[in-house]
Structure 1
Amino acid sequence: MTDFSKLALQYKSELLDKVVPFWLEKSQDKEFGGYFTCLNRDGSVFDTDKFIWLQGREVWMFATLYNKVEKRPEWLECAIQGAEFLKKHGHDGNLNWYFSLDREGNPLVEPYNIFSYTFAVIAFGQLSIATGNQEYADIAKKTFDIVLSKVDNPKGKWNKAAAGARSLKSFALPMILCNVALEIEPLLSPDFLEKTIETCIHEVMDVFYRPELGLIVEHLGTDGELVDCFEGRQLNPGHAIEAMWFIMDLGKRLGRQDLIERAVDIALKEVNYGWDKTYGGIFYFMDRLGHPCQQLEWDQKLWWVHIETLITMIKGYQLTGNRECLAWFEKVHDYVWSHFTDADYPEWYGYLNRQGEVLLPLKGGKWKGCFHVPRGLFQCWKVLEELAAK
């Protein structure tokens, strides 16, 4: 028998005793505001540039902890100082969010990346719930409107494609919008929320999920058809699996068990497909026709892929009782806790080679911030606690 209460304590303790204090103490820039995310194994700073989407994620994380775990003033202060830095420096004055800034807040990279916007939405949305601050709510709502207006061309004038070139649409945006819509639900009208959610579910489950493959593809032609090129053949099992817990959350919210069952079915297909049968762990990128991937890091084992799989599998088990989900949760749990955790310092490694050895000792960088590890620990702790109570 799985000991859910023991597991719940393991995830809770890792979150509250190690991971959250690490970011609270090591990442805050007390001089200029915002957060350092480029942190060595011991939490020392190795680069001071600030990446907007990681700043937004950290604001969201601390606001969420304040809203959902405990009203600790230091968590709220951490979120507010990050949000104030973002409000002042993160955009061009019209809520077009830059990709990165230097330490002082001067822009380095133009607002080409839609995820700078989506994470600003959830950051200010969650913080408006924590503070009741209307200005934060307005920033979240207006930014969300901009995101929706960019769905057909997320990079806007920063799109590098040649005129008339093959045009593809990406799975990442509808996937993230499934999560964003629920995050800022209190700020949206019920009709608007319902329409947005239905569009997202349709894109994820009926467009990017391909029944002939039993898998979700990362890019499609704008006509919704498969394309035989590097991007068109690309699979990202972690992305697809993560999206399935977003869909499960929506299924729960809408009272649609059929949607939850479909999400579980797809998640299980993805993890079976993406698991490295030789060394264990889940591949980062794959090619649906089995050709070589263009990404040289295709066979690396990444922290977020495995953490998102833990969330999906334990939610899948909770919501459907499917024992295969529980078996996968336990298998991935064993891999994660024996490979990504660091015996000597808090927070987790992000990048392993195919064999499961640490590639980079960093705890944060340009792509890894205060997000997947704490969010995953929080989600798993809460589900495991509910399972233990049953």
Structure 2
Amino acid sequence: METQIDTLKSLAKSELFEILNYWSFETIDNKNGGFIGEIDYKNYKNFDAPKGSVLHARILWSFSAAYEITNNEKHKSLAKRAFDYIVSNFYDSQFGGIFWSINADGSPRETKNQIYAIAFTIYGLTEYYKISKDKKALDLAIDLYKKIELHSYDNLKEGYFEAFTRDWQPIEDLRLSEKDANEKKTMNTHLHIAEAYANLYSVWENVDLKFKIAKILHVIDVYFIDKKTWHLKLFFDENWIEKPDVISYGHDIEAAWLLQWCAEVIEDNDLIEKYKKYAVEIAKVTKVGIDIDGGLWYEFDPKENKLIAEKHWWPQSELLIGMVNAYQLTQEQEFLEIAEKNFEFIEKYILDKENGEWIWGINQDYSPIKKDKAGFWKCPYHNSRACIELIKRL
């Protein structure tokens, strides 16, 4: 058994350096500043592509979190590059939000306040504060937290609304992406608000913030976790009426370990025990989404009884952490074996051995999905975090 753990840990360590290497050398935008907005599956760099706030916030988080393991000054300087670029280009000094996207030259493009993007900015800023002690990063994170509470929190029915215009007015299109339902409250945004707030609390132990984190965990418990199936419910209207959708295996297993971590950060024993139990139950049901090759399928549509037969890069990353976490909670060997087999799947099908980094994913016939290597959604956050978590946990 010890060799299994050693193997996984050493794989995670070497892969972390590979990921950081790619993002250090391939994604710097020396033409416009910050990081390149889009690199395609063939590694073609589009310096004229728009840049996403989520991409830059996740790069900020990844290099900041990795620096605590690597102690590589280059990683710290890249975190600073991301921080400086976010402050000067994505932060809306007029209305106090974060632009969803900007043009290649740094001018605002989509100026809506998507709470998901603001949450990721808080997550990145607080991680950067840990390694830099730059008060500007912490102050901005606190300011953004207050903006979410002021504008997004539903004082009547609890939970958080999805999106607003630049000046914080209601907006018609609330969606994160085209595939999402246009609903006012989503699991994805609540999960990442919890994550961001917990990271903020780890550097700023504010009583109100702690109360807010506990409240989000309560809301997620009541509305988003289906205790019959142990899958997550994804979309609701403002009155908590569900809009049934797919089963998202990646979000299930990500929530399993991440919500437990949030409870642990605020040291709420009741919530810790509850979410430890949930973490194991969700890990168990996630097994139905794992193929015989060790890869985790993307989604399942219960209404159509149809598998969305793709294996994307990010659910694999979350499966690794979720299964190692379940192993730590139960000491059941099976969970560790799932993680080990999933790493083998990643190495065989997801790593781009020619150009570096991970490809978007594969189709059912193992052909590559020809989408971004870097872009609005393709960032180093899921896979670097999986490696960092495995290194710490094992």
Pick the TM interval, shorter chain: 0.7 to 0.9
- Structure 1 segment 1-390 matched on structure 2, within 5 A: 1=1, 2-16=3-17, 18-41=18-41, 43-47=43-47, 48-66=49-67, 68-93=68-93, 94-148=95-149, 149-151=151-153, 152-156=160-164, 157-160=170-173, 168-227=184-243, 232-253=244-265, 254=267, 255=269, 256-269=272-285, 271-276=286-291, 281-291=295-305, 298-360=308-370, 362-384=372-394
Counterpart residue identity of residue 16, structure 2: L
Q: Cα gap change, 1:186/1:281 in structure 2, threshold over 3 Å: closer, same or farther?
A: closer
* Unmatched 5+ stretches in structure 2: 154-159, 165-169, 175-181
User: Whole-Å Cα distance in 1 between the matches of residues 301 and 130 of structure 2?
Assistant: 42
Secondary structure (helix, strand or coil) at the match of 2:259 reads helix
| Greater Cα offset, 251-260 or 311-320 | 251-260
1:150 maps to a residue whose letter is: S
CA–CA separation in structure 2 for the residues paired with 1:361 and 1:170: 25
1:340: how far off?
Answer: 0.4
1:329-361, Cα deviation, whole Å (9 max, x unpaired)? 233223222210123232111121123321216
Amino acid at match of 1:201: L
Matches of 1:58 and 1:99 in 2, distance apart? Answer: 15
CA contact (8 A) 1:219 1:234 kept: no
Q: Provide the rounded CA distance (Å) in 2 between the counterparts of 1:81 and 1:31.
A: 14
Q: Work out the CA distance in 1 between the residues paired with 2:44 and 2:183.
A: 42
- 95-104 or 146-155, which moves further after superposition? 146-155
CA contact (8 A) 1:261 1:320 kept: no
Shift in CA distance, 370/280, structure 1 to aligned 2, threshold 3 Å: closer
Q: For residue 4 of structure 2, what is the amino acid of its counterpart?
A: D
- Answer yes or no: is the 8 Å Cα contact 1:301–1:356 preserved in 2: no
Cα distance, 1:38 vs structure 2: 1.8
Structure 1 regions of 5+ residues with no counterpart? 385-390
- Count residues with an aligned counterpart: 369
Residue 168 of structure 1 and its aligned partner are, at CA, apart by: 4.8
The answer to whether the 8 A contact 1:352-1:358 is kept is yes
Equivalent AA in structure 1 for residue 252 of structure 2: A
RMSD: 2.5
Report the equivalent of 1:388.
none
Q: Which amino acid aligns with 1:158?
A: I
Say if 1:112 and 1:159, in contact at 8 Å, map to a contact too: no
Please tell me whether the aligned partners of residues 116 and 193 of structure 2 are also in contact (alpha carbons under 8 angstroms). Answer: no
The CA deviation string for residues 266-286 of structure 1, in whole angstroms up to 9 with x for no partner, is 2221x1332357x76333232
- The answer to whether the Cα contact below 8 Å between 1:36 and 1:45 also exists between their aligned partners in 2 is yes
Distance 1:42 1:366, change over 3 A: same
Contact 2:52 2:375 in 1 (8 A): no
Percent of aligned pairs sharing the same letter: 20
Counterparts of 1:120 and 1:262 in 2: how far apart (Å)? 27
Distance 1:38 1:52 in 2: 13
Provide the C-alpha distance between the structure 1 equivalents of 2:229 and 2:303, rounded to a whole number of angstroms.
Answer: 10
